[in-house]
């Protein structure tokens, strides 16, 4: 089913106020400050990580604060082999003690030949990514994402905290204001392992069938669902509607 990008659903007023206050208080603070505040303000906070091109920076920040934070990794069963190996390497290197690998048990039944992405990319993402993530997040009142404003598209107006419409859940974007150079510098300074596909021209890495290398000068996410209007997998939508809440004017 195609995603509906129409107006977002009603937002819990109490959460909206809380998000606005957190954004105002932390507007000029560091990612580490945002994470510490989030872990204090949001019970049962989890982190969602793709273990992609830039994921290791945020994973390292979280691990330095609390290695017991649940880290949810969605195995769509269409990931690059390099991503699966990298996930194991990074988890061991950072000492992540609460890594949870999430899969949708209905995938083999609903897409037995593994070709749904050829006819309906949105449905494939919903089956393999959105549905299992929503199930995994049901017991959490907030989650940490690695989204950044410089990734453009629908991310250009991100703030540190957002309310997830219809879910009474807060999303935390500690790296919202980081620039491409900040990520690379952090990874280099902390001698963190890079995803092996980065050196092969993949600055943004998703499922293998829907990710291609990016040429010099292209948007970093140009290789995701190339030659289509799609630019998000759907995990930042609720019931098919994009969430654009929590921003403080």
pLDDT of residue 26: 96
Q: How confident is the model at residue 150 (pLDDT cuts 50, 70, 90)?
A: confident
Q: Of 19 and 149, which is predicted with more confidence? A: 19
242 DSSP β-pair partners: 237
CA 214-90-42 angle, to 5 degrees, is 95
Least confident of 128-142, 170-184, 230-244: 230-244
Residue 233 annotated in active site: yes
Q: Of 186 and 158, which is predicted with more confidence? A: 186
Q: How far apart are CA 171 and CA 163, in angstroms?
A: 6
Residue 3 pLDDT > 80: no
Residue 105: φ, ψ to 5°? -65, -10
Annotated catalytic residue: which of 124, 125, 210, 233? 233
Using the structure block, give the residue that is written with the tokens 């994470």: 35
pLDDT of residue 166: 74
Question: Can you tell me the mean pLDDT for 207-226?
Answer: 88
Provide the sign of the torsion angle of the four alpha carbons 205, 211, 214, 218, taken in this order.
negative
Question: Can you tell me the mean pLDDT for 181-191?
Answer: 95
pLDDT of residue 71: 98
Residue 196: φ, ψ to 5°? -60, -25
241 DSSP β-pair partners: 238
Q: How far apart are CA 6 and CA 21, in angstroms?
A: 26
Rounded to the nearest integer, the mean pLDDT of the chain is 87
- Residues in the chain, total: 249
Using the structure block, give the residue that is written with the tokens 């969430």: 243
**What residue spans define the domains of the chain?**
13-242
Contact in structure between 102 and 132 (CB atoms under 8 Å)? yes
Residue 4 pLDDT > 50: no
Q: For residue 8, how many C-alpha atoms fall within 13 Å in the half-sphere facing its CB?
A: 17
Query: Residue 127 contacts by C-beta under 8 Å, 6 or more apart in sequence?
Result: 104, 106, 107, 110, 111, 116
Residue 243 pLDDT > 80: no
Q: What would you measure as the largest C-alpha separation in the chain, in angstroms?
A: 50
The CA distances from residue 27 to 150, 159, 228, in Å, are: 17, 9, 35
The CATH number of 13-242 is 3.40.50.620
Residue 154 pLDDT > 80: no
């Amino acid at each position: 089913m195609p995603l509906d990008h129409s107006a977002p659903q009603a937002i819990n007023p109490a959460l909206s106020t809380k998000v606005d206050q957190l954004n105002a208080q932390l507007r000029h603070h560091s990612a580490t400050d945002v994470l510490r505040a989030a872990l204090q303000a949001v019970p049962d906070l989890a982190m969602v990580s793709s273990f992609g091109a830039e994921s290791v920076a945020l994973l390292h920040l979280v691990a330095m604060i609390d290695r017991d934070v649940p880290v949810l990794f969605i195995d769509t069963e269409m990931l690059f082999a390099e991503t699966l190996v990298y996930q194991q390497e990074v988890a061991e290197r950072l000492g992540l003690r609460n890594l949870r690998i999430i899969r949708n048990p209905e995938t083999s039944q609903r897409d037995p030949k593994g070709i749904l992405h050829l006819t309906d990319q949105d449905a494939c993402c919903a089956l393999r990514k959105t549905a299992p993530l929503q199930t995994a997040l049901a017991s959490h009142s907030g989650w940490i994402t690695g989204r950044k404003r410089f990734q453009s598209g629908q991310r250009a107006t991100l703030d540190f905290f957002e309310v997830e419409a219809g879910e009474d859940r807060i999303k935390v974007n500690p790296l919202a204001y980081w620039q491409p150079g900040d990520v690379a510098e952090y990874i280099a300074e902390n001698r963190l392992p890079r995803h092996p596909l980065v050196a092969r021209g993949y600055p943004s890495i998703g499922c293998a069938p829907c990710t291609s290398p990016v040429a010099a000068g292209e948007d970093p996410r140009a290789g995701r669902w190339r030659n289509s209007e799609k630019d998000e997998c759907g995990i930042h939508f609720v019931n098919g509607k994009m969430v654009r809440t929590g921003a403080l004017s």
